[in-house]
């Protein structure tokens, strides 16, 4: 009965996150595959499937929230990938994270920026820091 939500979620996830979420699902497989299913069904089958915001606007919201929360670096990296995949530029992502300094303080903003930087380096958007 949840198959339809799962299928729809997987489709949205593929549009948004590309391969970035695959490692997460793989790592959950032998401990809590249902948690992975819920993320796909609820996060991407329900929430991301809703009209009213574009994928780009949704990623702006998610990158902002994950930066502000401060304890979600691995998920922030997945959504920096996602943001880039749905049309955000590196500079727009940098802007969102800088903006968070006013709402969550410099430490959350800095740690978010360094998580994002890892993705930018991985994708060749900035040179690897040596």
| Residues forming the site for its own copies (CB under 8 A) | 1-2, 4-5, 24, 27-28, 30-32, 34-35, 38-39, 42-43, 46-47, 50, 52-53, 57-58, 60-72, 74-75, 91-92, 94-111, 113-114, 116-117, 120, 126-127, 129
**Residue 39: partners with Cβ closer than 8 Å, 6 or more residues away:** 21, 24
Name the CA radius of gyration of the chain, rounded: 15
Q: Which is nearer to its own copies, 18 or 90 (CB)?
A: 90
Q: Taking a C-beta distance cutoff of 8 angstroms, is the pair 111, 100 a contact?
A: no
Structure tokens at 91: 């500079």
In the bound state with its own copies, the residue whose beta carbon lies nearer, of 59 and 85, is 59
Name which of 39 and 86 has its Cβ closer to its own copies: 39
Q: CB of residue 18 vs its own copies: minimum separation in angstroms?
A: 18
Q: How far apart are CA 106 and CA 112, in angstroms?
A: 10
């Amino acid at each position: 009965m949840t198959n339809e939500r799962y299928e729809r979620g997987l489709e949205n996830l593929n549009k948004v996150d590309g391969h970035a979420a695959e490692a997460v699902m793989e790592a959950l497989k032998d401990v809590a595959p249902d948690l992975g299913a819920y993320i796909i069904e609820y996060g991407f089958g329900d929430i991301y499937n809703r009209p009213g915001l574009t994928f780009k606007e949704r990623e702006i919201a998610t990158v902002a929230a994950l930066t502000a929360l401060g304890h979600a670096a691995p998920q922030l990296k997945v959504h920096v990938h996602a943001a880039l995949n749905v049309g955000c530029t590196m500079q727009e992502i940098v802007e969102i994270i800088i903006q968070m300094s006013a709402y969550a303080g410099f430490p959350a903003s800095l740690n978010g920026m360094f998580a994002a930087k890892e993705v930018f380096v991985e994708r060749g958007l900035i040179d690897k820091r040596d």
